[in-house]
């Protein structure tokens, strides 16, 4: 518990006046008096501790000595409730109050009692938040509680959530359907996301709709200021605020609930139950009257309240980028932000748009108005442990402490899984991968992830996939480092990497039947790779997981699992090329090459050189790509790996073709074909025939080109290599176009496109559409050609590929005043 600061005037009176006259100077307002009395109680408690070995009496110890509940004692120390005289005397005697302090207390109590009589001549409320009775009161002489905390003056954004709350609590809602308004709403979200701020802000906006008052309580479900409040403790405070004298409080909880609901019957009141832990804590506090509204905030979803009581669930997510900018602008000034937009963007990114983190950073910026924002961004960037940058100086603004209150309420298995997620590369995980990471059955892990999602420590952002933002991931990583042994962490990392490697390897073989398998060790105990059985499942799995796999490559290299790093990177090559994710592929292959070199695995180095060259070729870094191709050929030759050599010759030939060096391209294509034959690699030989045919076509040798492509089709159908078959039909389309057989060319391109659509290869689709447009133009179908080029352009633009400019230029020339048939350019790689 933290002492509340005394108001300046009260502090001056109590500390500067002579002791004999302090009691006359305590305060002149009832609420202020109660808070100062609470401050005196806290001081007595600390003095008692100094006199008795430095140990503070806990609320539970004081409860045991007095016979009262620890929760109500907490209310006394917080200044929320003034206890009856006899109780106050017992409590202060326990804390060793002197006669001077007893005199001060007696005088202050008299002031409060006089205030009560002014507020409620009939002998009403003891609650310190009670307001004078108004004409809106439903019971004569009863006060109108107005207990809402102050609204945050710098509140920004949340427009959609405010509208959702308005709609849910208005009869008929936005649609005017006549539906009844909700009587309870649950605001749930992760720690520090701003649930309380939103609830209080909306409650002040809606207060006039509830003229019979507003009740508020912090249930301390996740709070370091004291133990979790029980329903009985809350009801005592509410009954006092509603004008029930303490001596008339029922003893048993059901009777307290009945009295509370009777007092609210027919009234229009707003009850805000902040920071609830679970449904059991909330359910007794629900009014029975449909004219009242209960607004609950919790880090848990409180699904039972939604299911049984019909509460409306409202999820509170991270701020949007614009909202985060407005949040900082309100605290630091828009001019200051506008002057350093890049620094502001970095601050928002590193705060992951979490309001609590943004508030801590903004407080530091406001305390040092002369500091450039770039220096604050640098602090966040350079802090070794990111969470250290978000310590606001007390438990309520220390992001790590705030997270800990949610973590401490998890079951031990869920807590272990949360820690182990700190060993996961991110950005999200599916249930099977989490199961392997934890070494647990999938059905058990699904339940544990549901518990974490219920506590808003993970988010199920799409069905079956869970993520946690960077600050929570950092918190999980710190927990696993501080709680679990190094062997536990390393074993978990290996299980996670093996899950992805074994599943990706199986998926890569299904995605490209001609792909050469990698030698893998058996998966360790606890790892259950996913069962991928066909091309469609393989494509869907890579689509869902490729971001995780890219992160896993870097994660494996950092964790010194270098063999996993280069092998994982290799499994990604075909999928990333087909989808056009070349920058990611470049980064992964650079990491793979460094990892393989670090452990001296020459096979991995050779593959990484070749695959890095293929990726560099796609992004236009042709000179560097050529160097890596030559390095790969040298290593594969030294290893005696004919298949590796053949595949590298084929890819190198495609680069040379793009550079217009068609004779050199034909040489490497022929080398690849010969090596595949030596290796007895049928699918490679089939694909290599297409490569040789394409190179002949570029040299104008169309008969040889047709012969090789037709051989390729025969072999490809035997190996079920649809990707190679699609490329071969594309080559045949190009050859027939050059021979003037435009209708046959269009037919070949269409057959290629059917296969490409099944494969999900976006680059090849755009490339084939590009050439199909040429044939349609040559045939005289100008409108069809333009439509086809437009389709190709959309894909190239979406991929961010430089070939978009070539297509855009053709469209300009085709639709301009001097339109003429475009000349076909060289083909990119035909794998």
Considering the domain architecture, whether residues 162 and 299 belong to the same structural domain is answered as: yes
pLDDT at residue 653 greater than cutoff 80:
yes
Structure token digits, residue 784? 């069809």
106 HSE (CA, 13 A, CB side): 7
User: How do residues 740-757 score in pLDDT, each as one tens digit?
Assistant: 999 999 999 999 999 998
| Residue 43 within any structural domain of the chain | yes
Top-confidence residue, 558 or 620: 558
Q: For position 818, what pLDDT does the model report? A: 52
Across 263-277, average pLDDT = 92
Q: In terms of domains, do 158 and 299 share one?
A: yes
Structure confidence at residue 173 (pLDDT):
52
What band does 817 get if pLDDT is binned at 50, 70 and 90?
low
Query: Model confidence over 301-359: pLDDT tens digits?
Result: 998 999 988 999 999 999 999 999 999 999 899 999 999 999 999 999 888 888 888 88
Which domain CATH number covers 82? 1.10.260
524 by DSSP, 3-state: which? Answer: coil
pLDDT exceeds cutoff 50 at 6 = no
Q: Is 495 a member of any domain?
A: no
Same domain for 259 and 163: yes
* Residue 158 maps to a domain: yes
Contact 646, 672 (CB under 8 A): yes
Provide the pLDDT for residue 779: 93
Q: What is the mean pLDDT of residues 278-289?
A: 92
Indicate if the pLDDT at residue 819 is higher than 80.
Answer: no
Answer whether residue 117 shows pLDDT above 70.
no
Helices 85-94 & 99-119, crossing angle to 10 degrees? 150
The b/e string for 624-650 (b: 16+ C-beta within 10 A; e otherwise) is ebbebbebbbebbeeeebbbbbbbbbb
pLDDT of the residue at 641? 94
Examine the pLDDT at 524 and tell me if it is beyond 60: yes
User: What total of structural domains would you count in the chain?
Assistant: 4
Arithmetic mean of pLDDT over the chain = 83
Domain boundary among 271, 296, 315: 315
Distance between CA 608 and CA 644 in Å, rounded? 11
Integer Cα distance of 337 and 332 in angstroms: 7
Tens digits of residue pLDDT in 659-695: 999 999 999 999 999 999 999 999 899 999 999 999 9
197 and 231 share one domain: yes
pLDDT greater than 70 at residue 490: yes
Same domain, 172 and 226: yes
The pLDDT, as a whole number, for residue 216 is 94
In 3-state terms, what secondary structure has residue 675? Answer: helix
pLDDT at 776 (0 to 100): 95
Q: State how far the Cα of 777 lies from the Cα of 819, in Å rounded to an integer.
A: 11
The pLDDT assigned to 208 comes to: 86
Q: Are 727 and 830 in contact (CB under 8 A)?
A: yes
CA-based angle 733:737:740, to the nearest 5?
A: 140
CA nearest to 271, candidates 232, 218, 215: 215
pLDDT of residue 142: 61
Task: Please give the average per-residue pLDDT across 802-824, as a whole number.
Answer: 74
User: 85-94 and 70-78 helices cross at what angle (nearest 10)?
Assistant: 90
Check whether residue 150 and residue 294 sit in a common domain.
Answer: yes
- Domain with 781, as residue range(s), is 752-815
Best mean pLDDT range from 75-79, 209-213, 244-248? 209-213
Domain limit, last residue, from 271, 292, 315: 315
Same domain, 107 and 13: yes
Q: Establish if 246 belongs to a structural domain.
A: yes
- pLDDT tens, position by position, 528-577: 999 999 989 999 999 999 999 999 999 999 999 999 999 999 999 999 98
337 and 280, same structural domain?
Answer: no
823 — pLDDT class (breaks 50, 70, 90):
very low
Q: Give pLDDT, residue 19.
A: 34
Domain boundary among 267, 294, 315: 315
Residues 344 and 309 in one domain: no
Rounded-to-integer distance, Cα 101 and Cα 588, Å: 72
Statement to judge: residues 334 and 249 lie in one domain: no
- Rounded CA gap, 59 and 95, in Å? 12
pLDDT surpasses 60 at 377: yes
Look at residue 475 and tell me if it is in a domain: no
Lowest mean pLDDT among 133-137, 406-410, 454-458: 133-137
Query: Among residues 413, 367, 427, which one has the least CA distance to residue 554?
Result: 427
DSSP conformation class of 20: G
Q: How would DSSP label each residue in 550-581?
A: HHHHHHHHHTT-HHHHHHHHHHTHHHHHHHT-
Distance, in Å, from the CA atom of 418 to the CA atom of 646, rounded to the nearest integer, reads 46
- Please tell me the predicted confidence (pLDDT) of residue 100: 66
Lowest model confidence (mean pLDDT) among 29-38, 220-229, 521-530:
29-38
Flag the least confident range among 388-392, 428-432, 602-606, 705-709: 388-392
Look up residue 617 and give its two tokens: 């070729």
Q: Give the C-alpha separation, 618 to 828, whole Å.
A: 9
**Quick one: 202 and 295 in the same domain?**
yes
pLDDT grade, residue 588 (50/70/90)? very high
| Confidence at 87, pLDDT banded by 50, 70, 90 | low
259: domain CATH number is 3.40.50.300
User: Computed from CA positions of residues 354, 357, 360, 365, in that sequence, does the dihedral angle turn out positive or negative?
Assistant: negative
Over residues 429-450, mean pLDDT:
96
Report pLDDT digits (tens) over 120-174. 443 333 333 333 333 233 444 566 899 998 887 778 889 899 989 988 888 655 4
User: By the 8 A CB rule, do 567 and 557 touch?
Assistant: no
Please report the pLDDT score of residue 170 as a whole number: 81
The radius of gyration of the chain's CA atoms, rounded to the nearest angstrom, is: 36
**What confidence score (pLDDT) does residue 108 get?**
66
Residues 155 and 304 in one domain: yes
Q: Is the model more confident about 293 or about 759? A: 293
Highest mean pLDDT among 98-112, 795-809, 814-828: 795-809
**What average pLDDT does range 583-600 have in this prediction?**
95
Q: Is residue 621 part of a domain?
A: no
Q: Is the separation of the CB atoms in 340 and 214 below 8 Å?
A: no
288 CA to centre of own chain:
38
Would you tell me how many other CB atoms lie within 10 Å of the CB of residue 585?
26
Higher-scoring residue by pLDDT: 358, 91: 358
Q: Is the pLDDT of residue 12 over 60?
A: no
Q: Residue 41: which residues within 8 A CB-CB, separation 6 or more?
A: 76, 77, 91, 92, 95
Q: What is the pLDDT of residue 803?
A: 85
List the strands of the sheet with 293-298, edge to edge. 214-218, 270-276, 293-298, 184-188, 312-315
Using CA atoms, how far apart are residues 497 and 432, in angstroms rounded to an integer? Answer: 12
Percent of the chain with pLDDT over 70: 82
Cα(342)–Cα(362) distance, rounded to whole angstroms?
Answer: 16
pLDDT band (50, 70, 90) for residue 700: very high
Q: Indicate if the pLDDT at residue 452 is higher than 80.
A: yes
Q: Is 156 part of any domain?
A: yes
Q: Is residue 192 part of a domain?
A: yes
Nearest to 309 by CA among 182, 179, 214: 182
Please report the pLDDT score of residue 510 as a whole number. Answer: 92
Based on the number of CB atoms within 10 Å of its own CB, is 80 exposed (0-12), middle (13-18) or buried (19 or more)? buried
* Count of H-run helices and E-run strands, the chain: 38, 10
Is residue 572 within 8 A of residue 608, CB to CB? The reply is no
pLDDT band at 44 (very low <50, low <70, confident <90, very high): confident
Lowest-confidence pick of 167-171, 383-387, 440-444, 616-620: 383-387
């Amino acid at each position: 518990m933290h002492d509340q600061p005394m108001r300046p005037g009260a502090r001056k009176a109590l500390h500067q006046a002579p002791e004999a006259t302090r009691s006359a100077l305590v305060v002149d307002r009832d609420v202020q008096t109660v808070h100062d009395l609470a401050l005196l109680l806290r001081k007595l408690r600390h003095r008692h501790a100094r006199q008795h070995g430095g140990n503070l009496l806990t609320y539970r110890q004081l409860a045991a000595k007095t016979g009262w509940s620890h929760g109500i004692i907490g209310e006394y120390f917080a200044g929320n409730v003034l206890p009856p005289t006899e109780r106050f005397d017992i409590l202060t005697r326990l804390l060793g109050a002197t006669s001077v302090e007893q005199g001060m207390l007696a005088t202050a109590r008299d002031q409060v009692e006089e205030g009560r009589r002014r507020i409620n001549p009939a002998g009403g409320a003891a609650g310190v938040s009670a307001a004078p009775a108004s004409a809106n009161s439903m019971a004569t002489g009863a006060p109108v509680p107005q207990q809402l905390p102050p609204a945050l003056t710098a509140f920004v954004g949340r427009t959609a959530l405010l509208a959702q709350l308005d709609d849910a609590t208005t009869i008929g809602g936005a649609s005017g359907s006549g539906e009844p308004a909700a009587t309870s709403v649950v605001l749930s979200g992760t720690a520090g996301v701003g649930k309380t701020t939103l609830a209080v802000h909306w409650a002040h906006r809606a207060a006039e709709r509830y003229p019979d008052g507003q009740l508020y309580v912090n249930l301390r479900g996740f709070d370091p200021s004291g133990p979790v409040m029980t329903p009985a403790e809350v009801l005592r405070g509410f009954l006092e605020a509603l004008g029930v004298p303490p001596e008339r409080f029922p003893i048993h909880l059901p009777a307290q609930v009945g009295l509370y609901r009777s007092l609210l019957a027919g009234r229009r009141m707003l009850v805000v139950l902040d920071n609830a832990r679970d449904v059991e804590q909330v359910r007794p506090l629900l009014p029975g009257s449909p004219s009242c509204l209960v607004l609950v905030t919790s880090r848990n979803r409180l699904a039972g309240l939604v299911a049984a009581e019909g509460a409306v669930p409202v999820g509170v997510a991270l701020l949007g980028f614009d909202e985060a900018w407005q949040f900082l602008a309100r605290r630091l000034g828009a001019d200051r932000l506008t002057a350093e937009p890049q620094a502001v963007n970095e601050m928002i990114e590193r705060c992951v748009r979490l309001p609590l983190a943004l508030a801590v950073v903004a407080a530091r910026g406001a305390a040092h108005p002369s500091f450039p924002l770039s220096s604050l961004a640098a602090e966040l960037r350079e802090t070794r442990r990111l969470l250290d940058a978000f310590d606001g100086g007390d438990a309520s603004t220390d992001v790590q402490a705030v997270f800990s209150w949610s973590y401490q309420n998890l079951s031990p298995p869920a807590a272990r899984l949360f820690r182990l997620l700190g060993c996961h590369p991110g950005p999200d995980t599916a249930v099977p991968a989490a199961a392997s990471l934890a070494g647990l059955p999938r059905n058990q892990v699904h339940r544990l992830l549901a518990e974490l999602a219920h506590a808003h420590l993970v988010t199920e952002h799409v069905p079956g996939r869970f993520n946690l933002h960077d600050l929570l991931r950092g918190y999980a990583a710190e927990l696993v480092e501080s709680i679990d042994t190094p062997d536990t962490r390393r074993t978990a990392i290996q299980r996670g990497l093996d899950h992805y490697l074994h599943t990706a390897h199986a998926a890569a073989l299904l995605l490209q039947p001609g792909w050469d398998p990698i030698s893998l060790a058996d998966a360790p105990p606890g790892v259950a790779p996913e069962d991928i059985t066909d091309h469609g499942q393989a494509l869907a799995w890579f689509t869902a997981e490729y971001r995780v796999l890219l992160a896993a490559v870097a994660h494996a290299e950092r964790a010194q699992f270098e063999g996993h790093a280069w092998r994982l990177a290799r499994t990604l090559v075909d999928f990333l090329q087909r989808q056009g994710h070349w920058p990611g592929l470049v980064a992964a292959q650079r990491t793979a090459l460094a990892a393989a070199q670090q452990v001296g695995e020459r096979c991995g180095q050779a593959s990484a050189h070749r695959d890095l060259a293929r990726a560099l070729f796609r992004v236009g870094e042709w000179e560097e790509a050529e160097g890596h191709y030559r390095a790969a050929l040298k290593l594969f030759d030294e290893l005696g790996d004919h298949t590796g050599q053949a595949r590298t010759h084929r890819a190198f030939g495609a680069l040379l073709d793009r550079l217009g060096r068609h004779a050199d391209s034909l040489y490497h294509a022929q080398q690849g074909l010969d090596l595949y034959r030596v290796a007895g690699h049928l699918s490679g030989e089939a694909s290599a025939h297409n490569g040789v045919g394409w190179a002949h076509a570029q040299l104008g040798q169309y008969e040889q080109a047709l012969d090789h492509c037709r051989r390729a089709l025969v072999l490809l159908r035997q190996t079920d290599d649809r990707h190679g078959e699609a490329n071969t039909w594309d080559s045949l389309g190009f050859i027939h176009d050059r021979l003037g057989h435009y209708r046959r060319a269009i037919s070949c391109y269409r057959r290629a496109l059917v296969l490409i659509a099944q494969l999900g290869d976006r680059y090849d689709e755009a490339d084939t559409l590009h050439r199909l447009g040429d044939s349609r133009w040559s045939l005289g179908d100008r409108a069809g050609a333009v439509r086809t080029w437009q389709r190709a352009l959309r894909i190239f633009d979406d991929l961010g590929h430089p070939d978009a400019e070539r297509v855009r230029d053709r469209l300009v020339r085709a639709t301009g005043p001097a339109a003429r048939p475009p000349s076909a350019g060289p083909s990119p790689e035909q794998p």
